[in-house]
Amino acid sequence: MEDQLVIGGRALDSRLFVGTGKYSSDALIPEVLEKSGAQVITVALRRIDFESETDNVLQYIPKDVQLLPNTSGARNAQEAVRIARLARAAGCGNWIKIEVISDNKYLLPDGYETIKATETLASEGFVVLPYISPDLMVAKSLVEAGAAAVMPLGAPIGTNRGLKTKELIRILIDEIPLPIVVDAGIGKPSDACQAMEMGAAACLLNTAIASANAPILMAEAFGRAVKAGRQAYLAGPGAAEAYAQASSPLTGFLEAMNDE
Amino acid sequence: MSFYDEYLVYKDFNFNRFFEGITDDRIRAVIRKGKLTARDFLTLLSPMAEKHLEEMAQQAHKVTVQHFGKTILLYTPMYLSNYCTNRCLYCGFNTANEILRKQLTLEEVETEAKAIAETGLRHILILTGDARNMASPDYIEDCVKVLTQYFTSVSIEVYAMEQEEYARLIQAGVDALTIYQETYNEGLYDKVHLRGPKKDYRYRLDAPERACKAAMRSVNIGALLGLDEWRKEAFFTGLHANYLQDRYTDTEISISLPRLRPHEGSFQPKDIANDTHMVQMMVAFRLFMPRAGITISTREHARFRDNVMRLGVTKMSAGSTTVVGGHTQQEKHTGQFEISDERNVVQMREAILGLGYQPVFKDWQTL
């Protein structure tokens, strides 16, 4: 069965997006991509050393993988827009993950500035994937602003704490007519699986793989978990029941009366 | 409001009595806590906590890998000028020391910049002595304009400035400030700073806050370890960092742990923190401020630096010299202090890789 995720005109077979930060060596990246099956990878423009022959992260990213530069370090819309333009001018393509953070304690995103940056960049032809706290009104504004997807956090970034914001993400999935990509907080494959079962379009994660004792093995586990979660969503699980079904239901008499 | 008000709360605090009341159970509980209070932090700096160092280190390692990954950001200092009007007992640039004075011309700055950039470094830290009439804000600004052509991040470590001056330098391309209080002990501060503009304790203390107000992207503070009792200095450094991070959430606050090194002059350190103490400060600070950067410079020797990489350090200098023009010029002037880790950038890169960490050369992009 064909089940592709289409963002910015590109059809993706894999619904796992991965990151590039925090690895002990960027040389791990090709194998992470291969074992996880991920086709989208995010990279902070601030980290790309375009002039380096030995330490340029881009040299480890295969050409067929979709590059998703991000605006890490931006403290407001203006800085995010500048970073995005620099990324495109440097040949990193027109996808951009907007990350505007003015809170260095919890690293929570700034919704208002994110909306402003999205508006500007979408009008300049970028495929914009904004990272937000799961706030319905912010998400709706992003739809208006021209976002290509909405990426709510499952828990504060880098915490590996799992889907703490599950109920809010569920509302976004129900109400927002764009792909919902759960980004940040996912710590275990079971978290990713759960997000996909709920109907998330994809999951983006980095710390959970990069900080694992065996990153490659963890990458593979996440690839499978995301796939399993997606399949379960498509299969439509039966409703969970709190109690066993009564064998003599209260309305059973209606059937008996109709038969008479 | 100023950090000075918080300093006053603890200025006459009876640290020893507090330390005497600490139990092993209390320390264990603090290590397992999510968010530490100032008193919790002080608990981890206590003599008693030394027994729990391994447990603290394990936790600090975990938290650091989680937030920063297995990465070490590399930078190098470039000394622009060693003219100075201060008499600071612990410093080689002390105006009373008869050393050769020099200030780089813009052409010389460019020559140094080229040579450093060729090593692959993208982050530079520029330093001057405290001589406004020589290394003026205008001069520093001109240097910054040259340096942004070669580096993607330019930090300054210069005399304390006004908010407007910081704002001007940010406009010119500076993204980070390093400024050490040297000692938080106000009485001692007055004794070791004999003469010069630096003698003003409050002006120095509020300098990092002025930079935050000017929207500096990152601000790095510290105390020169060896002037006063290290437990107190570490405590005040942490309090100061926390004070700034609470109020200026869009500035990245980080700390350095500079240990006093031999230098020109005859000042003898009062309270040398040994390697164990250095580790205790580092891991206690990491647990107190999980997301804040920690810098260890080449004041420390190679073996120590290699071993603390896993304990919370996020940034290190490489290929360092404290001599003005030291990256390119043959004629060696007297440096600010002696460095202990003389490895060049290639050697540092290899060492970091060898320890299973990634050397990061670029972590900012001048906008």
The arithmetic mean of pLDDT across residues B309-317, rounded, is 93
Confirm or reject contact between A245 and chain B (CB < 8 A): no
B69/A45 touch (CB, cutoff 8 Å), yes or no: no
Task: Residue B66: list chain A partners with CB under 8 A.
Answer: 158-160, 207, 211
Least confident of A214-228, B114-128, B256-270, B350-364: B256-270
Q: How far is the C-alpha of B348 from the C-alpha of B118, rounded, in Å?
A: 15
B279: pLDDT strictly greater than 80: yes
Q: How far is the C-alpha of B66 from the C-alpha of A184, rounded, in Å?
A: 13
CA–chain centroid gap for B152, Å, is: 20
How far off is chain A from B64, nearest CA to CA, in Å?
A: 10
**What pLDDT, on a 0 to 100 scale, did the predictor assign at position A239?**
67
Domain range summary for chain A, segments of one domain joined by +: 5-259
The arithmetic mean of pLDDT across residues B265-273, rounded, is 74
B236: pLDDT strictly greater than 60: yes
Residues of chain B with pLDDT > 90, as a percent, come to 77
How far off is chain A from B314, nearest CA to CA, in Å?
A: 11
Confirm or reject contact between B149 and chain A (CB < 8 A): no
**What pLDDT, on a 0 to 100 scale, did the predictor assign at position A45?**
93
**What pLDDT, on a 0 to 100 scale, did the predictor assign at position A121?**
97
Helices and strands of chain B, counted as H and E runs: 15, 11
Task: Residue B362: list chain A partners with CB under 8 A.
Answer: 46-49, 52, 55
A75/B67 touch (CB, cutoff 8 Å), yes or no: no
Give every CB contact of residue A129 below 8 A, 6+ residues apart in sequence.
Answer: A7, A68, A95, A96, A97, A98, A147, A148, A149, A150, A151, A181
The arithmetic mean of pLDDT across residues B356-366, rounded, is 92
Whether ipTM exceeds 0.85: no
Task: Residue B120: list chain A partners with CB under 8 A.
Answer: 49, 52, 54-55
B282: pLDDT strictly greater than 90: yes
Average pLDDT, chain B: 92
Rounded to 5°, the CA angle B350-B354-B356 comes to 125
CA–chain centroid gap for B111, Å, is: 26
B136: pLDDT strictly greater than 90: yes
* Residue A97 annotated to the active site: yes
Q: What is the maximal distance between C-alpha atoms in chain A?
A: 86
| CATH architecture of the domain with residue range A5-259 | Alpha-Beta Barrel (3.20)
B68: pLDDT strictly greater than 80: yes
Q: pLDDT tens string for chain A (260 positions)? A: 579 999 999 999 999 999 998 888 888 999 999 999 999 999 999 999 888 888 888 889 999 999 999 999 999 999 999 999 999 999 999 999 999 998 888 889 999 999 999 999 999 999 999 999 999 999 999 999 999 999 999 988 878 888 999 999 999 999 999 999 999 889 999 999 999 999 999 999 999 999 888 999 999 999 999 999 999 999 987 766 666 666 667 777 777 787 77
